[in-house]
Structure 1
Amino acid sequence: MVALTGQTVLITGASSGLGEQLALAVAAKGANVVLAARRQDRLTKVADQCRLLSRAQAVAIKCDLAQVSEIDRLFDQVDQLFGSLDIVINAAGFGILTPAIDMDAATMAKMLRVNTLGVMLVSQLAAQRMSRAGKGEIVTIASIAGKIATPKSAVYAASKAALIAYDNALRLELKPIGINVMTVNPGPINTDFFKTADPSGHYLDSVGWLALNPVQFAEVIVSKLGRHQRELNRPRLMAAANLGYQIAPKLGDWLAGTVFNLK
């Protein structure tokens, strides 16, 4: 079991869903946690829970990843409060399941600012600090959608595919310094994500048998910290499907557009 006592962990998207469970999981391992998200009231409640679990520090900082100035301010506060940063977990993001030709420009821009550019900036600022210390770990919650795109997820899939590519290059740049970059690519997770992505509830109902449990999945992710894990793909069935897609892309396109098109 990984021990995080005395380490400082920054988690974005920590007010709910997988981000919240990741915060609780690292707190249970003794970490000081910095929680960032847009909803201050939800963040404060999560921070209170973390403090009970860790008997260490838990700080809730309101931050909108679509705003560069707020990300800069977040890191300034981390510097002032802790002076160093050991682990960053990028768990913020959202999706809208709709045909590409129907999505308005404002929604596309916001999704790319939050899911992609915001995460890249958080990783960059974290890496700058970690490089001075010669150690650290950056974890990005991307998506299996970044590897296997399906109808009604074009922009979301693109935002996550960009993160996978970014992490692949960042990993090579930071490895000689002693910093690990782990990319996590989950399939559907049983969280409030789908209340925004698909208010009808149809998609989650269709894939419920496959959906990951956020509490259990958070534990799996945290168990990989400090182990120089490159990538984590879950559920295993979708990870296997990704390998098959690379071997037979035409068949993969057919399956993604028909059998696995559950939206």
Structure 2
Amino acid sequence: MQSNLVNKKIIVTGASSGIGERIVWHIAKNGGIPVMLARSVDKLKSLQQVIDETFRTTSFVYQVDLQNENELTTVMKQIVTEHEQVHGLINNAGVGVFDYIKDMQWQDVERMFQLNVFALMRGTQQLLPHFLKHQEGHIVNIASQAGKIATPKSAVYASSKHAVLGFTNALRLEINSDNVYVTAVNLGPVRTNFFATADPEGDYQKNIDRYMLDADHVGKKIVFHLFTRKREINLPWWMELGSKFYQLFPKGFEWILNKQFKRK
């Protein structure tokens, strides 16, 4: 058990499934107190019951549509009011739709930026004064390797995650003298229901199935680094290595991996 998590209250957005669910599980397993946010309150309550029975711990559930500014603002204020101190915020909720730019639907563009970027920024801004007041906290933003290397059919999704990286890096610099940590998590493809929306035909998943990350491994890794001064978590390692080569030799990298980039 990680002693630095015991009795720490940690907000997790998009907690009802996928990576968020596994993050919540490992927080509870290590003595932390998950504060779970999602639209599906039934899924949250089912998860709450399981972890409470398994780990004999306390957890909290809040229903919210993160794309609704009023709902998000109300819930964040409610959490701060109801809890003397919140120790962490993991901005995990996100969505992706893979389309060529010529085919993209504007409602998909707006949805990705509303959830991936604006909700993340808004929630962080609302909780930041609370963390600074207590001189303690950890903000973890789930970005993506796509934010470092854009590929065909991921223009909008990659743009949204590039925005998350920029926001996260600036936030870290702004509060680097305070006892509030800021971490970006850059992931390759993870085996979750994310692809039900991003890749409804399933072709991309078939092409990259052997390379997909396990959601439980990702959740465990994120929780392991909570309340440590970890700048970035990059998974898988070889994809992060590729992003570094891409920064140095972009033209050659695109030429070599042209076929792989078009697998979507």
TM class, shorter-length: over 0.9
Q: Is 2:2 aligned against 1:2?
A: yes
Q: Which residue in 2 is equivalent to 1:93? A: 94
Q: Which residue of 1 aligns with 2:150?
A: 149
User: What is the distance in 1 between the residues matched to 2:75 and 2:256?
Assistant: 43
Relative to structure 1, the CA distance from residue 262 to residue 111 in structure 2 (aligned partners, 3 Å threshold; closer, same or farther) is same
Give the 4+ runs in structure 1 shifted more than 6 A. Answer: none
List aligned pairs for 1:179-190, cutoff 5 A. 179-190=180-191
C-alpha distance in 2 between matches for 1:231 and 1:188: 17
Question: Partner residue of 2:34?
Answer: 33
Task: State the percentage of identical aligned residues.
Answer: 35
Give the equivalent residue in structure 1 for 2:137.
Answer: 136
1:56 matched to 2:46? The reply is no
- Note if contact 1:32-1:56 (Cα within 8 Å) is conserved in structure 2: yes
SS in 1 for 2:211: coil
| CA–CA separation in structure 2 for the residues paired with 1:118 and 1:256 | 33
Q: TM-score, normalised by structure 1?
A: 0.96
2:2 is aligned with what amino acid? V
In the other structure, the counterpart of 2:259 is 258
Structure 2: state its 5+ residue gaps.
none
**Pairwise CA distance, 1:44:** 1.1
Distance 1:165 1:261 in 2: 26
For 1:46 and 1:125, how far apart are their aligned partners in 2? 26
Displacement of 1:105 in angstroms is 1.3
The two structures have a TM-score, normalised by structure 2, of 0.96
Query: Once superposed, what is the RMSD of the aligned Cα atoms?
Result: 1.3
1:104-123 alignment to 2 at 5 Å?
104-123=105-124
Retained in 1: the 8 A contact 2:10–2:33?
A: yes
What do residues 197-242 of structure 1 show as CA deviations (whole Å, max 9, x unaligned)? 1011111111111110001111111111122000011001101100
- The Cα of 1:27 is off from its aligned counterpart by 0.8
Q: Offset at 1:256? A: 4.8
Aligned residues: 263
Asked if the contact 1:90–1:139 (Cα under 8 Å) also holds between the matched residues in 2, the reply is: yes
Q: Which runs of 5+ in 1 are unaligned?
A: none
The alignment partner of 2:185 has SS state of strand
- 1:94-123 residue CA offsets vs partner (Å, 9 max, x unmatched): 100111221111211111011001011111
1:195 aligned residue: 196
Residue 50 (structure 1) shift: 2.5
